[in-house]
Amino acid sequence: MRTAYRVETVRAAERELMERLPEAALMQRAAAGLAAACAELLDRVYGSRVVLLVGSGDNGGDALYAGARLARRGAGVAAVLLSPGRAHPAGLAAFRRVGGAVVEPGRAEDAVARADLVVDGIVGIGGKGGLRPEAAALARAAAASRAAVVAVDLPSGVEADTGEVRGEAVRADLTVTFGTHKPGLLIDPAREHAGSVRLVDIGLDLPADGAELEALQHADVARLLPVPAAESDKYRRGVVGVAAGSDRYPGAAVLAVAGALRGGAGAVRYVGAAGDAVIARYPETLVSATGPAKAGRVQAWAVGPGAGEDAATVAEVVAAEVPVLIDADGLRLADRDAVRARTAPPLLPPHAGEAAALLGVSREEVEAGRLTAVRELAEAYRATVLLKGSTTLVADPGGAAPVRVNATGTPWLATAGSGDVLSGVAGSLLAAGLSARDAGSVGAYLHGLAGRLAARGAPVRAHQVAEAVGLAWRDVVRG
Ligand SMILES: NC(=O)C1=CN([C@@H]2O[C@H](COP(=O)(O)OP(=O)(O)OC[C@H]3O[C@@H](n4cnc5c(N)ncnc54)[C@H](OP(=O)(O)O)[C@@H]3O)[C@@H](O)[C@H]2O)[C@@H](O)CC1
Ligand SMILES: Nc1ncnc2c1ncn2[C@@H]1O[C@H](COP(=O)(O)OP(=O)(O)O)[C@@H](O)[C@H]1O
Ligand SMILES: [K+]
């Protein structure tokens, strides 16, 4: 499991560790990791031109110590000091001792333009809001130069705790972060500014139950996947009911069933107007002619994809006693009080537009503040909410558990019907006995990976994503 902690938790762990260590030991550990990552990125350290952007906090101190290490290995290193009188004194002294140069005021942008590597030590976890104008100009210069950009701890200007970007921020090729991931490194739009992320262990002891975010990895997903036992039969494996599609949107039903058949349940029962289309494509589906309440036994329902205006079906599913997933049109049609009144919180997987409509805000607001939006929706609907998009977040109501983040997907998944496939997969996992939280996060993990495996860098159809779920499953099990 990968975890990310809020700044206040990181600071507390840092204080505790510093009491037991000699002065500057932590910063030396951070700088050693940072310098090693920079050296790997440069083809050759000796003779390369490195420019440090140095703010007046410890983030700048890290950059100065790392710059000193690179200078000792033969790089030409120059530092741009944003507040010359306030740069980290010991770091600056160490830097000067190895012959590091300080760039004269007025020459900074020119130096950045000619650099092979720019190290962004403007601001780390001590920053608030977008970059100030002077720093923003340097970030623009770095973006315009052909230099590789390495961010120290965080790309300067992003919000560490939320992933929001309120103004200008550095765009890095690599971020070297210390002690733990910060939420902003895993959630867009900040994640996109971070480039690839490398974690340097500096010995911080973080509380096991205090993470803000967690990201499942292959091994975690492998443990959660439902695997039939010797005594299993199709009913024990779980029957998932899919209530989806309408005369106008029969395809959504077919795609949701396509996902459901690959999500681990023993059988898929379908109710709705698209029975003929479903059976033509998937003869293994149990098609019922009734509504959900009379369709026969299921262990979980997935309702809503392509439902059109069929509010009655949605209401029947919301009233069901088994776990339910409510998606797409179902999100609009479901009665909020009835959703809140359920004993088991349902799983709601909106995309940003649907989440915005439910919250009464704009889509842009949701996309700019994903973590806030997913938590608010989970409270408002007393539901487990899976907010889809470039980074998928899964939040439980109550706010105590870490929000799960999934990044296995690819932008190629932004194709019509791919959300319907995810509905089916996650509904199937619910029927197989996973909690809403696990079904949502394992579903998103498999769906994202399936999208990647199916696309392999080219456009992909939603059907191909469903077909690749088995490949993703095997990939996870193989480890
Ligand atoms: N925690 C750990 O375990 C370890 C932490 N370590 C390192 O320490 C870092 C935290 O250092 P920190 O606390 O000194 O704060 P930091 O990020 O340098 O920011 C303060 C500076 O930013 C400035 N500034 C603020 N906002 C700004 C803006 N919008 N635009 C522009 N500037 C802005 C602010 O200016 P001021 O307001 O003072 O004028 C001040 O100069 C952490 O990220 C990691 O790198 C490692 O060494 C080892 C272990
Ligand atoms: N930029 C992106 N990067 C990664 N995944 C994405 C991106 N955009 C969309 N997705 C994923 O693609 C799927 C699209 O679902 P949705 O918007 O409901 O589509 P539809 O309604 O057409 O089925 C979701 O799983 C979402 O997380
Ligand atoms: K930084």
Q: What is the pLDDT of residues 350-391, one digit of tens each?
A: 999 999 999 999 999 999 999 999 999 999 999 999 999 999
Instruction: Domain count for the chain, please give it.
Output: 2
Q: What is the CATH number of the domain that holds 409?
A: 3.40.1190.20
Pair 70, 146 in one domain: yes
What is the domain extent for residue 198?
2-213
C-beta separation of 178 from 152 below 8 A: no
Q: Tell me which of 157, 189, 213 is where a domain ends.
A: 213
CB of residue 417 inside a 6 A radius of ligand 2: yes
C-beta separation of 476 from 225 below 8 A: yes
Q: Give the ligand 1 atom nearest the CA of 17.
A: 3
- For residues 382-406, average pLDDT: 97
Chain segment 108-124, per-residue pLDDT in tens:
999 999 999 999 999 99
Q: Tell me which of 176, 195, 213 is where a domain ends.
A: 213
Residue 105: the pLDDT is 84
Q: What ipTM goes with this model?
A: 0.95
Q: Which residues contact 113 (CB under 8 A, 6 or more apart)?
A: 141, 144, 145
Q: Tell me which of 181, 197, 213 is where a domain ends.
A: 213
CA of 438 to the centre of ligand 1 (A): 36
Average pLDDT score, the chain: 97
Pair 209, 250 in one domain: no
Q: What is the CATH number of the domain that holds 12?
A: 3.40.50.10260
CA distance 388 to 451: 14
CA of 244 to the centre of ligand 3 (A): 47
Q: Binding residue per annotation — 419? A: yes
Residue 129: the pLDDT is 85
Q: Ligand 2 test: best mutation among 405, 406, 418, most atoms within 8 Å of CB? A: 418
- Among 388, 360, 364, 389, smallest CA distance to 376 is for 360
CA distances from 302 to 138, 295, 312, 360, 392 (A): 50, 13, 15, 24, 19
For the cut 90, the answer to whether the pLDDT of residue 128 exceeds it is: no
Q: Give the ligand 2 atom nearest the CA of 417.
A: 23
Pair 81, 186 in one domain: yes
Chain segment 84-105, per-residue pLDDT in tens:
999 999 999 999 999 999 999 8
DSSP state letter for 476 = H
Q: Give the ligand 2 atom nearest the CA of 327.
A: 18
Residue 479: the pLDDT is 87
